[in-house]
Structure 1
Amino acid sequence: MSLGIDLSPATKQCNFDCLYCELAPTATVDKQDNAVSAETIITELKKHLNNKIDVITLTANGEPTLYPYLNELIDQIDIIKGDTQTLILTNSAMLSDEKVYNSLLKLDQVKLSLDAITPEIFKKIDRPHQNINIDDIVKKVQQFSQKFNGKLFIEILFVHGLNDTKEEVLKLNNALLSIKANRIDLGTIDRPPAYPVSGISYKELYELSQLFDASLPVHIASRVHAEANNTSYTNEEIINTLDKRPLTMQDIELLFDEESKNRLLKLIEEQVIIVKKLDNLEFFTPTTHLIRKKDK
């Protein structure tokens, strides 16, 4: 059971503009101009933290390591978290910042993205902010993995026609052999992406997994059934939730109570929420979300 903390709730702030991002396209940044105080986050965390929570997940409407008070926040969470684990989901680019690097060392779990090794492919997929270099990222990930005492996960997301070639997988494999990871998650696009790109099939994902060295802890990431949460959402909360993370009906069945499902149906009737089909899945997303994508 994960309790997520969005370190950029007001707007998307990211140093990547990934082709596959579920958020609308946005110009990259190298710092957060709109940041919530660590005190505000801790106050909210205290209200919701309980012994059912296995992990506190630091994430963002963008890149969480751009949060300016990250080190302070982690220290304050450590004071109140008890046995609960701390985790961050990051694109790895800010490991070059010594303060961020040392802050992440304090966490119990870290999940780092590494989508490509070839500079041209990296730039096409992840669309990084200026002066972000994949060679530097790989070196810092390798270095971090040797020093980090917690659980380290690596995530690779495959985009059809870009990083799904045998040549690129072998380059990823060679880099991963020097990274001390507990698990390497291979995935693909399963939510409506920011740009007109597509994922690969499970069969193709499995075939690519066979190219990695047998010593690597490779895992094929896929959707799994979770426990029902049945939470109440207002109209505004439904729209904000779907704007940040489009959901399938399966997701909604798990997350929404009956009244919230009825509110969703009403929003669909009013065309405030629309259905977007991706491969064999249908996602619910605000109309404004798709308009922003088209405008980009």
Structure 2
Amino acid sequence: MSLGIDLSPAFKQCNFDCLYCELAPSATVSKQKESVSVDTIIQELTKHLHDKIDAITLTANGEPTLYPYLNELIDAIDKIKGNTATLILTNSATLVDNNVFHTLLKLDEVKLSLDAVSSEVFNKIDRPHESINIENIVQKVKEFSHLYKGKLYIEVLFVHGLNDTKEEIAKLNAALKEINAVRVDIGTIDRPPAYPVVGVSYKELHNIALMFDKELPIHIASRLHAEPNNSYHTKEEILNTLDKRPLTMEDINLLFDEKSKLNLQELLESNAVIVNRVGNLEFYIPKNNLKRKRIKPQEL
């Protein structure tokens, strides 16, 4: 069970504008323009933290390592977390910053994204801020993996026609062999993307997994084994959640109690929430969210 902390709750602040992002497209930034105080986060965390929480997950409506008080926040969390693990989900780009690099070493678990290692493919998929260079990122990921004492996970998200080629997979394979990770999660688009791109099939993911060296801890990411955590959500909370993370009915059955499902039904009846089909899955998203996500990228 994970308790997430959104380090950019007001709006998206990210140094990538990934084609597959479940958030709306936005201009990339190199630092946060608006931040929540550490005291505010700790106050909220104290209210909701309990002994059934397995991990406190630092994430964001964007990139969490852009949060300017990350080091201070982690120190504050460590004082109250007890045996609960701390985890961050990051796109890896800020590991080139020495302060961020050493701050992440403090965490119990780190999950780094690495969608491509060649500059051309990386720039097409992740659409990074102009200051970001993939060669530097890969080098820092390697260095971090050999210094880090916690559990390191690597995540690769495959987009059809971009990083699913034999050539790019071979380059990823070579890089991953030099990274000391406990698991490499490979997955694909399973939520409405920011731009008109598509994922690969499960069969294709399986074939991709077979292209990596056998000694690599490749894992095909799946939500099929998720445990239910049914709880109550107001209509406002449902809209906020769906705006940031579109959900399938499978997700809803795992997350919502019966009263929350009634709130969702009323939102559907009022047309505040609509159903959007992606592949063979149906996602519930705010109606306004659909409109703003139909922006065509400058180049694919």
Query: What is the root-mean-square deviation of aligned Cα atoms in Å?
Result: 0.9
In structure 2, the residue matched to 1:254 is 254
Structure-2-length-normalised TM-score: 0.97
CA distance in 2 between partners of 1:226 and 1:176 (Å) = 27
Residues of 2 paired with 1:228 and 1:142: CA distance? Answer: 36
Q: For each residue in 1:225-268, what CA deviation from the matched residue of structure 2 results, as whole angstroms up to 9, or x when unmatched? A: 33332221111111111000000011111211212111111111
Partner of 1:72: 72
CA–CA distance in structure 1, aligned partners of residues 227 and 202 of structure 2: 24
The CA deviation string for residues 175-218 of structure 1, in whole angstroms up to 9 with x for no partner, is 11111111000100000000000000111101111111111111
1:184-263 aligned within 5 A: 184-263=184-263
Q: CA deviation at 1:269?
A: 1.3
Give the aligned partner of residue 17 of structure 2.
17
- Residue type of the partner of 1:173? N
The CA distance in 2 between the partners of 1:84 and 1:14, in whole Å, is 27
Tell whether the 8 Å contact from 2:228 to 2:254 is kept in structure 1 after alignment.
yes
Q: State the partner residue of 1:150.
A: 150
- CA distance, structure 2, for counterparts of residue 225 and residue 192 of structure 1: 21
SS in 2 for 1:12: coil
The alpha carbon displacement at 1:145 in A equals 0.4
Gaps of 5+ in 2: none
Whichever residue aligns with residue 262 of structure 1, its letter is L
> Number of matched residues?
296
Match of 1:5, SS? strand
* 1:48 shift after superposition: 0.9
TM-score when scaled to structure 1? 0.98
Output the CA distance in 2 between the equivalents of 1:217 and 1:266.
44
What is the aligned partner in structure 2 of residue 28 from structure 1? 28
* In structure 1, distance between residues paired with 2:247 and 2:44: 25
Structure 1 residue runs of 5 or longer lacking an equivalent are none
Distance 1:184 1:176 in 2: 8
Return the alpha-carbon distance in structure 2 between the equivalents of residues 250 and 295 of structure 1: 28
Question: Deviating runs (4+, > 6 A) in structure 1?
Answer: none
Residue identity opposite 1:11 in structure 2: F
1:48-127 → structure 2 map (5 Å cutoff):
48-127=48-127
Conserved 8 A contact 2:95-2:141:
yes
2:14 and 2:278 map into 1 onto residues whose CA distance is 24
How high is the sequence identity, in percent, across the aligned residues?
Answer: 68
Report the AA paired with residue 227 of structure 1: E
